[in-house]
């Protein structure tokens, strides 16, 4: 069965209107109404306004929102990197999630631990990190210029934009705070931050400091 692109037909039928009758109300042709219902004509702001008035519904009621999926928040992020939680401390969160075209491992959702990454992120923001294939030049090149969590081979971690120097070495322009040690060294672990949800509604807010204090860091 075809997926519904909008709710125009639903409310038209609830109002017991034919496509021709709705077309007359909005000053259009019945073919145009058919095209709008099937997604063949863009549902612009003007069409939303005219149709919502004719159907006596809010504009938002005519839109089909993306169905959210439940993701599992498995750790926390700060300027010091990603800290994985014990499995029992993870939190489920309903958001719209899409697959990523990169990364050998499953993307990981983590909650921002504190305000050390401000203004990019604040405490209790939720971000998705994608671990890249180790030593894969194509994926490392894809990460250049993107927001990443990078651990260098001296085990120093930076959160910022990955940059490549003329000599082939890497550095990170941090999102907050001074430049970190490890600049210009070889990346040991690269995780691209490809999505963020700002201040989501957690059913039970995690006790970040308490978890972080008793849980040792774990490489992901």
pLDDT, tens digit (0-9, with 9 covering 90-100), for 131-184:
886 667 777 888 888 899 988 878 888 899 988 877 667 888 888 876 654 455
Please compute the mean of the pLDDT values over residues 64-92 and round it to a whole number.
Answer: 71
Residue 115 clears pLDDT 60, i.e. is over it? yes
The span from the CA of 14 to the CA of 32, in Å, is: 19
The model's pTM: 0.52
* Mean of pLDDT values over 109-125: 88
Domains assigned to the chain: 8-62 (1.10.260.40), 69-214 (2.10.109)
**Range 193-216 average pLDDT:** 59
Q: What pLDDT was estimated at residue 204?
A: 56
Q: What is the pLDDT at residue 103?
A: 45
For 53, list phi and psi in degrees, rounded to 5. -70, -40
The predicted pLDDT at position 62 comes to 87
Q: Sign (positive/negative) of CA torsion 90, 94, 99, 100? A: negative
pLDDT bucket at 81, cuts 50 / 70 / 90: confident
User: How far is 19 from 184, CA to CA, in rounded Å?
Assistant: 65
Q: Which of 158, 161, 109 is nearest to 130 (CA)?
A: 109
Calculate mean pLDDT across residues 119-134: 84
- What tokens appear for 154 in the block? 């001296």
Q: Does position 12 have pLDDT exceeding 60, yes or no?
A: yes
Q: How many CB atoms lie within 10 A of CB 80?
A: 17
Q: Following DSSP, what letter does each residue of 42-93 receive, concatenated?
A: ---HHHHHHHHHHHTS-GGGGB-PPPPEEEEEEEEEETTEEEEPPGGG-EEE
* Residues 66, 44: Cα–Cα separation, whole Å: 18
- Tokens 């774990």: give the residue: 218
Q: State the pLDDT confidence band at 23, using cuts at 50, 70 and 90.
A: very high
Report the DSSP beta bridge partners of residue 63.
6
Confidence of residue 19 (pLDDT cuts 50, 70, 90): very high
């Amino acid at each position: 069965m075809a997926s519904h692109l909008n709710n125009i037909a639903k409310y038209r039928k609830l109002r017991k209107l034919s496509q021709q009758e709705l077309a007359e109300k909005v000053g259009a042709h019945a073919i145009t109404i058919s095209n709008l219902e099937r997604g063949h004509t863009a549902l612009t702001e003007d069409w939303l306004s005219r149709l919502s008035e004719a159907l006596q519904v809010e504009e938002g009621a005519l839109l089909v929102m993306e169905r959210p999926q439940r993701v599992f928040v498995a750790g926390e992020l700060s300027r010091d990197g990603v800290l994985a939680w014990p499995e029992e401390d993870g939190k489920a969160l309903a958001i719209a999630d899409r697959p990523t075209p990169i990364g050998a491992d499953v993307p990981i959702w983590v909650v921002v631990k504190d305000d050390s990454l401000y203004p990019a992120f604040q405490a209790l923001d939720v971000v998705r990190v994608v671990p890249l294939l180790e030593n894969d030049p194509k994926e490392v090149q894809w990460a250049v210029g993107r927001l990443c969590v990078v651990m260098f081979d001296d085990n120093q971690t930076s959160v910022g934009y990955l940059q490549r120097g003329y000599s082939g070495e890497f550095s990170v322009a941090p999102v907050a705070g001074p430049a970190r040690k490890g600049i210009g060294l070889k990346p040991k672990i690269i995780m691209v931050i490809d999505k963020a949800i700002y201040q989501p509604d957690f059913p039970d807010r995690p006790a970040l400091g308490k978890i972080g204090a008793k849980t040792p860091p774990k490489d992901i």
